Structure 1
Amino acid sequence: MTLAATDRPLVASHDAILLDLDGVVYRGGEAVPGAVEALTAVTEARLAYLTNNANRPPRAVADHLVELGLDVSVDDIVTSAQAIAGVMAHDLPAGSPVLVVGGEGLRAALRERGLVPVADRHAEGVAAVVQGYTPDLGWRDLAEAAYAVQSGLPWYASNTDLTIPTAEGIAPGNGALVHAVGLAVGREPVVAGKPYAPLFEETIERIAPGSPLMVGDRLDTDISGARRAGIASLFVLTGVNSLSDVVNAIADERPDFVGHDLAALHDAHPEVVVDGERARCGSASAEIRDGAIAVTSPGEPTETLRAVVGLGWACRDASGISVTVDATIDA
């Protein structure tokens, strides 16, 4: 697989930009540098914000983005809580009580779909248990989820991201907590968030794009999920995964485009030409030196990044060996 190319700004080829939030638009409460400016400059494509984080209701997410300086409505927000609530509403009778191990975003999504969130697994008629991220979860909450699953209740999870980027660094995500329950009960839940289909299906049904582009910082969720859904993808280096990660990505997690940040939406993405242990993209070139990829001629930032990634994929595919990136490359 090679990187896709376009000789005009990337955004010009797409009528909808589907954006992950954590690590792409913001980190914690603060905007990723340059993100607001890059998104404000998008004028011809619909922007939709997809988040695996089920903690906050869509209104709270939209308000946060408005505070950061973006023009956003609640209809532009699609959460994994909404997606899993849709799955559960299909599976369960209307009005079913559901044990919620998670935050208000998950409870609100269930109510919108005609289900009744409860906090006690012993409540009358509990039909299922659903698990989603909230920073207030503790051992007793996970134990309650485990007991409920062991009793035979269907088990659902908003998402399985092992980590979540914050302003202070990388922290355990909902997937780490779901995994803890799974280890205790020996089962796996039904999952809605990326890379699984329901979150993408919820988004596509809502905005009906003709040529969407998914933008994400995680290869195993954002990029893998887009590939499964047949959606083109842009990977940015502002969140969880690193340049070394994308250079060594397996085929199912390779993006169509790469960029340092959201400014890459407005860049052309020239073809990468690989010749043995050398690659060029536009005015940038890279080669293998002392067993590592090094930049030999820097070009525009997106060109340089594409040359490095394109060369890395070619070398990885040819040898099957992990590729090292020179530590001096600023990415």
Structure 2
Amino acid sequence: MKINTITIQEILDKYETILLDAFGVLVYQKDAVPGAIPFIDRLNQSRKPYFILTNDAAHSVSTSVSRFHRLGLSIEAKRIITSGTLLVSYFQNHDLVGHGCAVLGTQDSSEYVHIAGGKVVPIQEYSSWDVLVVCDEMGFPFLENMDMALSMLFKKIEARQPFQLILPNPDLIYRKNEEEFGITAGSMALVLETALKLRYPDCKEREFIRLGKPYSPIFQEAYLRSGTKNMVMIGDQLLYDIRGAKNFGIASILIGTGVTPCDTLTKENPDCPDFILPSWIP
């Protein structure tokens, strides 16, 4: 059975708060998604509460605001909830404040770890860190640092040095533009996990702790800010945006501008959304 479509006006009438993914929903790598700018303008003019729930751990909130504004999207900092900000509570709840941390990602990624209380150290100094945080595929020599991360993890296992693996952004791929896709941090983590399992099948520390969507903390933060569960998540990926919303008990809409195509989706899919929205353009 086909999933019902929904219009923008119906969304605004039906839900108190709108939750939006960023990449593939509002923005691509270098441009705004067609129709996203007038939609955000409409939300701002109507004063409809909304939040951006993004698994992005490569850009700080202030960097994200500047990027949105540069692309024509008038989004304030108070409306942005990133997976990188979840590191603060995770570090506090798991006694990681003050621990040495190696970071794969951008300068903003390292700043997220620093704000959470971690001490960022070079990845090659394997005896100085016991936490590896994989945030993004950008901001460093990719192949060299992935090889270095793998080698240092092997060394730590051989030396019987405990470590933790943390992945703020579980996304595997993202949409760069209307024609191209790219891998992101979740795919990097899968590579490292597979290698660890292959070489050390009995190692207990070979899996990453995944934050961000589809897990509940990022949705809980949106609930705390909005004060209502009459929210809807509009996203482009079934496994992260839609599954996360369903698990948290809120409505979901798949938009057809990103990773997951809408035209072949049916209600038999366990991660099917409540509605589909082909694009922001009527």
TM-score band, normalised by the shorter chain? Answer: 0.7 to 0.9
Counterpart AA for 1:235: L
Gap runs ≥5 in structure 2:
157-161, 198-205
Q: Structure 1 residues 249 and 51 mapped into 2: Cα distance closer, same or farther (>3 Å)?
A: farther
CA RMSD of aligned residues (A): 2.5
Q: Distance in 2 between matches of 1:23 and 1:179?
A: 22
Aligned to 1:111: 114
Report 1 or 2 for greater relative contact order, CA contacts < 8 Å, sequence distance ≥ 6.
2
Counterpart in 2 of 1:247?
266
Change (3 A) 1:85 1:191: farther
CA distance in 2, matches of 1:249, 1:101: 38
Q: Equivalent residue for 2:274?
A: 256
Against the structure 1 CA distance between its residues 4 and 90, is the aligned structure 2 distance closer, same or farther, given a 3 Å change threshold?
farther
Letter of the 1:259 counterpart: L
State which of 140, 147, 163 in structure 2 corresponds to 1:153.
163
Change (3 A) 1:124 1:85: farther
Letter in 1 for 2:32: A
Q: Is the partner of 1:27 in helix, strand or coil? A: coil
1:28: which partner in 2? 29
1:165 aligns with 2:165: no
Question: What 5-or-longer segments of structure 1 have no aligned partner?
Answer: 264-300, 302-331
Residue 120 of structure 1 and its aligned partner are, at CA, apart by 3.1
Matches within 5 A, 1:1-331: 9-42=10-43, 43-122=46-125, 125-135=128-138, 136-150=140-154, 151=156, 152-167=162-177, 168-186=179-197, 187-247=206-266, 250-251=269-270, 253-262=271-280
In the superposition, relative to structure 1, how do residues 126 and 80 fare at CA in structure 2: closer, same or farther (>3 Å)?
A: same
Shift in alpha-carbon separation, 1:132–1:230, aligned structure 2, 3 A: same
With structure 1 as the length reference, what TM-score do the two structures score?
0.72
Deviation of 1:93 (Å): 3.9
CA distance, structure 2, for counterparts of residue 242 and residue 4 of structure 1: 15
Moved more, 196-205 or 182-191: 196-205
Report how far residue 14 of structure 1 moved: 1.8
For the 8 Å contact 1:159–1:193, the answer to whether it is kept is: yes
Does the CA contact (< 8 Å) of 1:54 and 1:80 recur in 2?
A: yes
Report if the CA contact (8 A) 2:81-2:218 is conserved: yes
Letter in 1 for 2:163: L
Please give the secondary structure, in 1, of the residue aligned with 2:265: helix
Change (3 A) 1:246 1:3: closer
Paired residues of 2:24 and 2:175 also in contact (CA < 8 A): yes
1:249 is displaced (CA, Å) by 6.2
Per the TM alignment, residue 3 of structure 1 is displaced from its structure 2 partner at its CA by 5.1
Could you tell me whether the CA contact under 8 Å between 2:123 and 2:149 is conserved in 1?
no
Post-superposition Cα deviations, 1:290-322, rounded to whole Å, max 9, x if no partner, equal xxxxxxxxxxx7xxxxxxxxxxxxxxxxxxxxx
Q: Percent identity?
A: 24
Q: Matched residue of 1:60: which SS?
A: helix
In 2, Cα distance between the equivalents of 1:104 and 1:78?
Answer: 18
Matches of 1:249 and 1:242, distance apart in 2? 15
Contact 2:18 2:50 survives alignment (8 Å) = yes
Q: CA 1:143 to 1:245, structure 2 compared with 1: closer, same or farther past 3 Å?
A: farther
Change in Cα spacing, 1:122 to 1:27, as seen in structure 2 (3 Å) is same
Q: CA deviation at 1:92?
A: 2.5
Residue 116 of structure 1: how far off its partner (Å): 2.1
Structure 1 residue 147: deviation in Å? Answer: 3.9
* Cα distance in 2, alignment partners of residues 125 and 214 from structure 1: 40
The one-letter amino acid of 1:142's match is: M
Q: Are residues 19 and 137 of structure 1, via their aligned partners in 2, closer, same or farther at CA, if it must alter by over 3 Å?
A: farther
Return the alpha-carbon distance in structure 1 between the equivalents of residues 132 and 61 of structure 2.
Answer: 22
Q: CA deviation at 1:193?
A: 1.8
Task: Using the TM superposition, name which of 239-248 and 46-55 deviates more.
Answer: 239-248
Larger Rg: 1
Given the superposition, is the C-alpha separation of residues 85 and 139 from structure 1 closer, same or farther in structure 2, using an over 3 Å criterion?
Answer: farther
Shift of 1:217: 0.7
